[in-house]
Amino acid sequence: MIKKLVIAILCIASYGLSAQNTTASPYSFFGIGDLRNTATVDNQMMGRLQMYTDSIHINLNNPAAYGKLRLTTYTAALAHKEIRLETFTEQQNTSVTNLEYLSIGFPLSDRWGAGFGLMPYTSVGYNLLDETTNSNGATVLNEFSGQGGLNKFYFSTGYRLLDDLYLGVTVNYNFGNLTNQRIQSVEDVQFGTLDRRESRVNGFDLNYGATYTPKITEKHTLFTSVTVNTQANLVAENSQRIGSFSRANGDEIEVIDVDLSARGLDRTEIKVPTTTTLGLGYGEDKKWFLGAEYGFQKMSEFRNEFVNLEGVSYEDASSIGIGGFYIPDYTSFTSYLKRVTYRAGLRLDNSGMVIRGSEINNFGITFGFGLPLGGGFSNLNLGFELGRRGTTVANLVEENYFKVNIGLSFNDRWFLKRRID
């Protein structure tokens, strides 16, 4: 029954990932949209730490974790985000709901595991309005809108090289469409102008991971990890249409296709630099864990040849995450609450994006619960995040958000020989 349910969810979610609009952030206007850095709900609620691994959960960020899997695991998650956008003079509320990820992992032996899945990589979704006055005193209205984003299909494998040393690698195939449009109109002028740009993007990158988890005492374990997500070299097939439209009814007039090949812009490269993450933690198996991670990325080397925006630059990015969990008594038969996993964390991200001289940073507080399902190892994960992104300085936008995640993790056994007595 569970397998049939998972197949049905896979079919529905595969369509949903390609159709959903997963952000309402004005900052998705820049680069190739919001970089999602998706992690499972249980990892997200610990400050998005990627170092912690066990035998029953999938880790989307560290492929070395697949070497620890002892049960086939299906996992998927939904997220709902309430957002308040603020400037010095205005405030607006919005929300988005989307599928976070869909993944399957399975052991191939007692040392080797693998998995695959689908998740968003970047998201574009914005509507911006800029009102100015020209030299004749007339009001000029610029409307910017965008939609789309990139998804990634991945295949991961992990292997236990030594007793406490696990290595892994993920191959990511990134694909999707990005659409950006600018419409300009002038007060008392019958026609306006439009500039619509579309890019069909695809390309590969690799993610290498390693964990080393030696026992320090009889009960306590040291957790160390390193992941290196290599530079994504993406190819964009671009098109551009410019022309005019009637302000009275919105009909397009004299819209033409721009010859991008004459400028060498019909097929361009997008480079998303390498990200390296280092982690260190300490804990007691099936009882408690506390860890911290530091990540860095040379976003100063980010390139998108088709879209160059004034007032925007990139510097090296970094992130710091702290988090952990606590389980009162995972073997308790008398109290369900004692078997619940309680998680919490903090995260500070410097995106590396600088707009009008102001850095765009993100700060989040995370917490949540892992709720056991039935008598097995399956669980329902609830997660919550309170955060703030951006700034109102230099007439920019500050985002205050509250995010709710619901993730399911089902466990089963595959590749076992049946015995007949």
How far is residue 153 from each of residues 120, 206, 314, measured CA to CA in Å? 9, 12, 27
pLDDT score of 413: 67
Domain 16-121+145-176+201-234+270-412 homologous superfamily, CATH:
Outer membrane protein transport protein (OMPP1/FadL/TodX) (2.40.160.60)
pLDDT score of 254: 83
CA distance 100 to 40: 8
**Does residue 39 contact residue 60 with C-beta atoms inside 8 Å?**
yes
Q: How is 157-223 classified by DSSP, letter by letter?
A: EEEE-SSSEEEEEEEEEEEEEEEEEEEEEETT-SEEEEEEEEEEEEEEEEEEEEEE--BSSSSEEEE
The tokens 């530079």 sit on which residue?
A: 231
Token pair belonging to 391: 């700034």
**Does residue 119 contact residue 20 with C-beta atoms inside 8 Å?**
no
pLDDT score of 88: 84
pLDDT score of 148: 93
CA distance 408 to 421: 35
**Does residue 236 contact residue 306 with C-beta atoms inside 8 Å?**
yes
pLDDT score of 45: 96
**pLDDT tens readout for residues 250-299:** 778 888 999 999 999 999 999 999 999 999 999 999 999 999 999 999 99
**pLDDT tens readout for residues 5-18:** 444 444 544 444 54
* Alpha helices, H only, 40-101: 41-44
pLDDT score of 414: 58
Strands annotated E in 341-378: 341-355, 358-372
Ranges of residues in the chain with a pLDDT under 50 are 1-10, 12-16, 18-19, 416-421
CA distance 63 to 167: 7
CA distance 101 to 132: 42
Buried b (16+ CB within 10 A) or exposed e, 89-108: eeeeebebebbbbbbbbbbb
